[in-house]
Chains A and B, each alone.
Chain A
Amino acid sequence: MASGAELIRQVKERIKEIDPRDVRERLDGSPNGTSANGSGPDAQRPVVVDVREQHEFEEGHIPGAVHVPRGHLESRIEGASADRSRAMVLYCASGNRSALAADTLERQLGYENVESMTGGITLWKDRGYDVDVPRALTTEQRSRYSRHLLLPEVGLEGQIKLLESKVLLLGAGGLGSPVALYLAAAGVGRLGLVDDDVVDVSNLQRQVIHTGSRVGEPKVDSAEQAIRDLNPDVEVVKYNTRLDASNIMEIIEGYDVIVDGVDNFPTRYLLNDATVRLQIPVVSASILGFDGQLAVFKPYDGPCYRCLYPTPPPAELAPSCGANGVLGVLPGTMGLLQATEVIKLVTGSGDPLVGRLMLYDALATTFTDLKVRRDPECPICSRDPESISEEEMGVFPDYEAFCAAAG
């Protein structure tokens, strides 16, 4: 009878082994670039299977690896790949368990293209390659987010998604205040704040993130302080500037969701075009008097802002809240609906307000849902994102006249 060590040696002789360097190369995409044979990059990308135990996997694994502990190999491997011909790389801690598992897959289950990674994750880490460490919540976080953890629609997975999410708020004013507070409370990992204004006493009627003692301070500083006090888990990134064509791409790139509460049309069109180009969903709200509008513009999934409003109204029909007034509670109502949509987008729960526009009339207490369709001739979202040039972003018919009239 062979010893254990002898058996492993024999197995390693008959299976195929692969060096971590080659695994990494194949995961990063073939060095020859895109495949010309039409099979696509996925066909060459191997399925990477971690055959270690649960606790080992949780301590860190190769990014994108599927976890099938060796003890469950036969019963669960088809969940990783039912296709026997698909390339598959198995790994464990040092390369022995994965060799045995590869042998089982080949000899007993008919997998044709299995390799075992030499040296396992130990060698992978020694080489300095990326490792994904699944996040676990700290005791304090388990307590802080306990009401979320109890909801099946959020749960641990959803809470971790929130903690890893990056949300950009345009404006730390009426809409931005409640959105920032509630998203911070919900544990959104990074909150970007764009606003070039300072806190004024006339803001305090509705901009609840600011306080009387911070009048005169930049709004981004005031908001940062409130967020820090509420939840230290949240990283605040401040942009004490006005969003314009020169800085928009730089600011918005890398965010998962953008919350639009800007107070003018040129910026809304600019934002639309840039977010379609980068395919970032926008949760948009606007308010006036006692009325609010809410929509989620998810590029290529639903209509964009230009499908809904191809041209802005003339300046006399586009009054601002400064000129017309707004009920102080209204941005609270609309902002919290925005925050709700953000959380749904991040956690992937429910049906976000894509392809719909919701109107809220606070005086009548009515919510009206309208259908919004993608415009097949939309000047922006009917095209490939790469074809949207920076020069045309934010431009709309009669743009010059509009801006001149709006002052």
Chain B
Amino acid sequence: MSTVKIPPVLRPSTGGEREVAAEGADVGEVLRSLAQQHPDTERQLFGQDGTLNRYVNVYLNDEDVRVLDGLETPVGERDTLVILPAMAGG
């Protein structure tokens, strides 16, 4: 099980949970597993065509998955995924 860190704007969709444990061999599978557990997150993470919305950044540990292999990037048991939408509060 890897860990997915949930940003504040998505927490209403995870019942307030800040970290969700999710199963999957790659980034896409882990995020799909998150969306299965918390269906409200799906629309916010994925576009109609099944790709990641461009305004959502996903990091595997500290690296942007877009510079790795995107949704196909392999994820290990102890890895952490960070979901990061832009924030503008000041």
Task: Please tell me which one of the listed residues A173, A176, A309, A359 contacts residue B82 in the complex, with CB atoms under 8 A apart.
Answer: A359
Whether A288 pairs with B84 at a CB distance below 8 angstroms is: no
Whether A371 and B62, one on each chain, are in contact in the complex, defined by CB atoms closer than 8 angstroms, is: yes
Q: Is the CB of B64 within 8 A of A372?
A: yes
What per-residue 1/0 map shows which CB atoms of B1-22 lie under 8 Å from chain A?
Answer: 0000101110000000010000
A104 proximal to B (CB < 8 A): no
What residue of chain A has the Cβ atom nearest to residue B80's Cβ? Answer: A368
Known: A288-B8, A288-B9, A359-B82. A308 touches B90 (CB 8 A): no
B85 A317 Cβ-Cβ under 8 A: yes
Provide the bound-state CA to CA distance between A263 and B85, in Å. Answer: 15
Pairwise interchain contact A326-B89, C-beta atoms closer than 8 A: yes
> Are the CB atoms of B86 and A313 closer together than 8 Å?
yes
Instruction: Let me know if A364 is at the binding interface, CB within 8 A.
Output: yes
Pairwise interchain contact A265-B86, C-beta atoms closer than 8 A: yes
Considering the complex, give the chain A residue whose CB is closest to the CB of B87: A286
Interface of B is mostly: mixed
Interface residues on B, range: 20 to 34
A318→B64 contact, CB < 8 A: no
- Which A residues, 278 to 324, have Cβ-Cβ distances below 8 Å to chain B? 285-291, 293, 308-314, 317-321, 324
Most buried by A among B18, B55, B87: B87
Shortest CB distance A338–B (Å): 11
> Beyond A310-B54, A313-B55, A317-B44, is A287–B87 a contact (Cβ under 8 Å)?
yes
State in angstroms the CA–CA spacing of A261 and B8 once bound together.
Answer: 18
Q: Give the complex CA separation of A173 and B90 in angstroms.
A: 7
Contact residue among A286, A309, A368 (Cβ-Cβ distance under 8 Å from B55): A309
A286 with B89: in contact, given A370-B64, A373-B67 (CB under 8 Å)?
yes
Question: Does A369 interact with chain B (Cβ within 8 Å)?
Answer: yes
Q: Chain A residues near B54 (CB, 8 Å)?
A: 310-311
* Inter-chain contact A263/B89, CB cutoff 8 Å: yes
Q: Which residues of B contact A291 (CB under 8 A)?
A: 7-8, 87
| Chain B residues within 8 Å of A311, by CB | 54-55
Chain A interface residues (CB < 8 Å from chain B): 171, 173-176, 260-265, 268, 285-291, 293, 308-314, 317-321, 324, 326, 331, 357, 359, 361, 363-364, 368-373
